[in-house]
Structure 1
Amino acid sequence: MHVFHITPAVWMLCFHVGQAYIARLPDGWALIDTGPPGYAPKILDALRDLGAAPGDLREIVLTHSHVDHTGSAAPLAAATGARVLAGTADADVIRGHRPETPPVLLDWEIPLHASLPPDIHTAVAPPCPVDRELHDGDTLDWGEDVRVLHVPGHTAGGIALHLPTSGVLFTGDTIANDPRPILGVFNVDRRQAIDSFHRQAALDTDTACFGHGAPLTGGAGAALRAAGAGLN
C-alpha cells in the first residue's frame, strides 16, 4: 500500500485494486472507503504514521458497497470504534443482509471485468454494521460542511462527498481517471451513472478524488465538465 499527500488535509491510500482516502478533521480523522479485505493493519499503520491513534478515527464513510471499497471496513470499525456511514440503498449489502446487485456489462467491459485480480472476483467483504444511513442532502461536520450527494448508477446507493469550502470532491466509482476523467465502469444502471457524472461535474470543485485513478488537483470541475460533454 502506498500513501500520497493530496491536499493539506487529505491523503490517498493506494491498494492493489483501487484506493481510499484519509481526511484530517479538527478533532480526529475520517476514512473514505477502506480497500479490499486484508488492508486494515496497513491502514492503521498509515494513521499512526500521521500521528493518529486508532481511537482518533471518528468516521468511516463508504461511497458504495463493492468489496474493493468495503472489504476492510468491519475490522477497522472494530479496531477503532469509528462510526460507519453509507448510502441508504447500499447499507443492507454492506451489513450482509442482501447480495450485491451484479453490473450490467457493456461488450467492451466484459474482458476488462474478467481481467480483474482473481482475489477481487472471489473476495467477500465481512458484514459490517452501518451506524448511519446517508441520504441526498445530508451534511457531515468535518470542520467544514460536507455535503452528501446520492449518485446512483454504479450501485443503487452510491454517494459522493462534496466539501464546498475547500473545493474537494470524493466521487467513489461514479467517475474514474484514466488518465482523463471517464464514467466509472461496471455499472448497474448506465443512464443513472451518466446523470450522476453530470451532477458532480456541475459542482464548484478544485480537487477531485476518485475510487480509481489519480486525483485531479486544480481545476477539477472544469475537467469533469469537459469530460462529461460527450456523455449521453
Structure 2
Amino acid sequence: MGVSEVVPGLHLLPLGISNAYLWRHDGGVTLVDTGPAGSAPAIAEALGALGLRREDVRRVVLTHFHDDHVGSAAAVRAWGRAPVVAGAADVPVIRRDRPGPEPVLTPAERALHARVSTGLPRAPACRAATPVADGADLGGGAVAVAVPGHTPGSLAVHLPAAGVLITGDTVAEHEGGLVLGPFNADRGRAWDSLQRLAGLEADVVCPGHGQPVAGGAAAALRAATDPFG
C-alpha cells in the first residue's frame, strides 16, 4: 500500500486512478474521498499501517459525485456509521436519487475521458450522504470550501493551520505543476473556483489526481492553466 505522509497528520492514499486523503486529528480520522468501488479493503489496510482501526474514521468527506471518488463510500460508512458529507448539489446523485450532469467535454478531453472511464465500476448508492455548507467544520480544523464547476456541488477541504488544500478534481497535478482538472460540468465556474482556491494562499495542494504540490502552491495555483480547454 503506497500510503505516504504529505504533512504531519495528513496522508495520501492512491486508490487506482484517484486519490484519497487521511487527515488524522484528536477527534479521529477524516477521510477525504473513497476511491472506486472495491477500495474499502485498501483503505482499511492503510489505516492499519498507521496504527488505526476502521472505527477511527469519524467523518467521510466526498469532494464530488464521480464514481472514482465515491465508489467505496457506502462500504466505509458500514464500518462504524461515520457521517458522510458532500456538497448539497451532489448529495442526491451520491444517494442515487437522480443522475448527475454529464461533463461537457472539449475535443482534447474526449480520448482521455474514454480511456479513464473504461471499466470504472458504478458507485453503489450511499444513502447516508448528507449536505455540508461552505465554511462548515469538518473536524480537526478542516473547513469545507464550495468549488462548483467540476460538478455542481464540488467541495475542497482547507486545513488552514497546516497550509493545505485538498482540491478534489477542481485542480489536477501535471508534470509537477497545477492545472484545471478536466471533465467539468461547467468549465467557467470551475475556473472561477480554482481562482478562489488560489486566494487561500495554501502552501500545499493535494489534488484528486496526481501528486501533491508542496511549497509555494498558491503561486502554482495562480499560474495554473487549462490545457484541455
**TM-score in same-fold range (> 0.5):** yes
**1: CA distance between counterparts of 2:227 and 2:154?**
23
Q: Which runs of 4+ in 1 moved over 4 A?
A: 228-232
Residue of structure 2 aligned with 1:188, choices 160, 185, 192: 185
Give the aligned partner of residue 195 of structure 2: 198
Count of aligned pairs: 228
Does the 8 Å contact 2:108/2:228 carry over to 1?
Answer: no
Equivalences for 1:1-232 in 2 at 5 Å? Answer: 1-116=1-116, 118-120=118-120, 123-142=121-140, 144=141, 146-179=142-175, 180-227=177-224
TM-score normalised by structure 2 residue count: 0.94
| SS at structure 1 position matched to 2:17 | coil
Gaps of at least 5 residues in structure 2 are none
SS in structure 2 at match of 1:61: strand
Residue 217 (structure 1) shift: 1.3
Structure 1 unaligned spans of 5+: none
The alignment yields a C-alpha RMSD, in angstroms, of: 1.8
C-alpha deviation, 1:153, in angstroms: 0.7
Q: TM-score, normalised by structure 1?
A: 0.93
- Offset, 1:2: 2.1
- Give how far 1:106 is off: 0.3
Question: 3-state SS of the aligned residue for 2:157?
Answer: strand
Looking at structure 2, the residues matched to 90 and 124 of structure 1 have their Cα atoms a distance apart, in angstroms, of 16
1:100 deviation in Å?
2.2
- For residues 97-153 of structure 1, give each alpha carbon's deviation from its aligned partner in whole angstroms, at most 9, with x where no partner exists: 111211000011011111115222xx21111034531122222331x2x22111111
Identity of aligned residues (%): 46
Counterpart-to-counterpart distance in 1, 2:183 and 2:110: 9
Contact 1:2–1:15 (Cα < 8 Å) also in 2: no
